[in-house]
């Protein structure tokens, strides 16, 4: 069974995806594609829409419980095929800015330093092709290495940002997490339309950088969450609500 096969980063596997395969595009349906903050940033800019528009039109939020951080997945089309909304007969129309998990497919992370496949070879015929890869070579070829680098700090947030056990405060923490990670346009307003810069003593050079560079804004948000100040963040939230 292909999906049961495990291999290490430096071990070789066979794979090639192209239009000549009978299964071309069929893997992009009825599947949970989880999005990272950098995924959303790339997609919203590709589509030339706001973070909120992307979230509303193309995704749904998964809440795993009151003391778990929300996750975002692509909302498959509501038809019999349940295809990804970005897939056409010619392929993916956001291909150059496709999410990390799409870039890495058919490779799946099975554990620390352990990898496998998302599909069986009788479903994904590309696994029967002759071209050989290692995981690191595949990631580099698909441009997934930059995504991995961008998400390094994001993965640290759950270790640093702790829930309190008080429902109203924990709800606020989740809202701030979601905004800073997944709704950069709203986070930018939260920073620049309030007294955020003063309250959090943001240096002018940093303020200028995050105002003009969304990647820097995203990384700033990660750092802010890992040194979270509940009281100050609530004060800023109230300011923004008054303005709105």
* Strongest mean pLDDT among 16-25, 32-41, 63-72: 32-41
Q: Is the pLDDT of residue 238 over 60?
A: yes
Q: Is the pLDDT of residue 1 over 70?
A: no
User: Which of the four pLDDT bands, split at 50, 70 and 90, describes residue 237?
Assistant: very high
pLDDT of residue 186: 96
User: If you write DSSP's letter for every residue of 170-183 in order, what string do you get?
Assistant: HHHHHHHHHHHHH-
pLDDT of residue 244: 61
pLDDT of residue 36: 97
Q: Taking residues 6-28, report their average pLDDT.
A: 89
pTM: 0.91
């Amino acid at each position: 069974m292909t999906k049961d096969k495990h291999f290490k980063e430096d071990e070789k596997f066979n794979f090639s995806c192209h239009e000549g395969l009978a299964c071309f595009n069929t893997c992009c349906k009825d599947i949970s594609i989880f999005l990272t903050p950098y995924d959303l940033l790339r997609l919203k800019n590709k589509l030339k829409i706001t973070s909120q528009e992307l979230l509303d039109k193309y995704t749904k939020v998964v809440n795993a419980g009151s003391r778990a951080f929300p996750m975002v997945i692509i909302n498959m089309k509501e038809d019999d095929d349940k295809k990804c909304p970005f897939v056409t007969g010619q392929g993916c129309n956001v291909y150059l800015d496709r999410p990390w998990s799409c870039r890495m497919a058919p490779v799946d992370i099975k554990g620390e330093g352990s990898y496998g496949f998302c599909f069986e070879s009788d479903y994904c015929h590309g696994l029967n092709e002759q071209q050989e890869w290692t995981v690191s070579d595949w990631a580099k070829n698909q441009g997934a290495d930059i995504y991995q680098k961008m998400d390094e700090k994001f993965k640290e947030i759950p270790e640093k940002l702790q829930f309190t056990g008080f429902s109203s405060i924990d709800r606020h923490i989740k809202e701030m997490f979601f905004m800073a990670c997944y709704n950069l346009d709203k986070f930018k307003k939260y920073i620049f339309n309030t007294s955020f810069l003063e309250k959090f003593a943001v240096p002018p050079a940093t303020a200028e950088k995050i105002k003009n560079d969304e990647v820097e804004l995203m990384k700033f948000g990660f750092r802010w969450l890992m040194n979270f100040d509940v009281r100050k963040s609530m004060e800023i939230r109230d300011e923004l609500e008054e303005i709105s």
